[in-house]
Amino acid sequence: MEARELLQELCGSLRAVLARVRGQAFKETSQEATKLSLAFSRPPLPSAENCRKLSEDVQNAILAVATVYYWLPKGQGTTLRKMVRDATTEVLEGMIQLTETILISPLGSSSQEQLISTGGVWEACEQVSSLPRDNQAAVVSALSAFLGVVKDAVEEMENCSQALVEEQDPYSDIIEDEELGFRGNRDTYWSEADRKLLGSCMGLMKASKACLKKVLSVVKAYGKADSPEQIAQLDDLADIANEISPSVDELALSMYPPMNHLAVRLNAAKLASVLKKVLEITKTSHVCPPSEEGWVQFLTGAVDHNMDKIKNFTQGEL
């Protein structure tokens, strides 16, 4: 057996050990939360000695949970580490909330808030079982979340634009004001120039959704976390893809009437830049074999095409 195969086997064994340690640590924390809550839910209250023992057990359980995160090597991937850190933080915050709830509740009585806080710790510990096992799975999870947010933004903008387009110009039958030179309140509808710009902006937003969908697909199919290079490439993808959703939101907000064409152009340029970085990083990583390069080129062209149209429509704003 070659050295590489031996190292891959060792890596798999370590992941399995980590998964068992992780599960046991969070299970014990859930149990300690239950013991703490029950001890103060009815009389008699625990003695000072028992209370000290409860406190020590809770602290030990929380330290074990924190150790799971600190034991996770940075080389396993920053995306995976962030998810484990967030899960650990959620458990710790839940335990703090439970303790504070017990302190402010009448001692020896179980309040609704105490039951909710206890359940919160259980839920936080239970979610650990669904954490990704490696960085490839972590990046798949992150990309899926990004795609869901962008899908919602695109759908919301499509619905809004359809409603406003169907409404048309509510002041179209009113003669222009002789002094002001325009009709009514244009803050509530799109002008003809706005609508031309709107189509290209929607094209860019749809390209964002398509980009995330395709990147998610190739990471699922070809993504690996067997070497430091592969892990780093996946992290780079997750980091830049994380910028798509905020950029889509900024563009969408600037598209509502009254539309500021210069602001739209700047936000569109920012989104286009992010998308091209995502496509470039994808193309040069291990998740994109030659057979997948076609859609990368196609989406790059789609981004350029829509951005060129946006530039043409807003040239007069410069």
174: pLDDT strictly greater than 50: no
What is the reported pLDDT for 109? 65
Express each pLDDT in 152-169 by its tens digit. Answer: 999 999 888 776 656 554
Task: Mean pLDDT check: name the lowest of 72-86, 163-177, 197-211, 254-268.
Answer: 163-177
Task: Mean pLDDT check: name the lowest of 96-110, 180-194, 217-231.
Answer: 180-194
Q: How many angstroms separate the CA atoms of 311 and 261, rounded?
A: 10
Q: 108: closest CA among 61, 40, 17? A: 40
Express each pLDDT in 277-308 by its tens digit. Answer: 999 999 999 999 999 999 999 999 999 999 99
Helix (H, G, I), strand (E, B) or coil at 182: coil
Helix (H, G, I), strand (E, B) or coil at 105: coil
What is the reported pLDDT for 280? 98
Tell me the Cα Rg of the chain: 27
What is the reported pLDDT for 261? 94
Express each pLDDT in 183-223 by its tens digit. Answer: 445 556 788 888 889 999 999 999 999 999 999 999 999 99
- pLDDT top residue among 18 and 265: 265
Q: How many angstroms separate the CA atoms of 171 and 194, rounded?
A: 16
Mean pLDDT over residues 246-273, rounded?
95
Mean pLDDT over residues 249-256, rounded?
94
Q: What is the mean pLDDT of the chain?
A: 86
What is the reported pLDDT for 172? 47
Mean pLDDT over residues 63-89, rounded?
89
Q: How many angstroms separate the CA atoms of 165 and 159, rounded?
A: 10
Q: 202: closest CA among 294, 314, 277, 302? A: 302
Mean pLDDT over residues 96-119, rounded?
83
Residues 29, 60: contact at Cβ < 8 Å?
Answer: no
177: pLDDT strictly greater than 50: no
CA angle at 52 for the pair 47 and 57, rounded to the nearest 5°: 125
What is the reported pLDDT for 169? 47
Structure tokens at 13: 């064994």
Mean pLDDT over residues 111-138, rounded?
90
Residues 248, 208: contact at Cβ < 8 Å?
Answer: yes
Coarse DSSP helix, strand, coil percentages of the chain, rounded to the nearest 5 percent: 80, 0, 20
Band (pLDDT 50/70/90 cuts) for residue 171 is: very low
Question: What is residue 42's DSSP assignment?
Answer: S
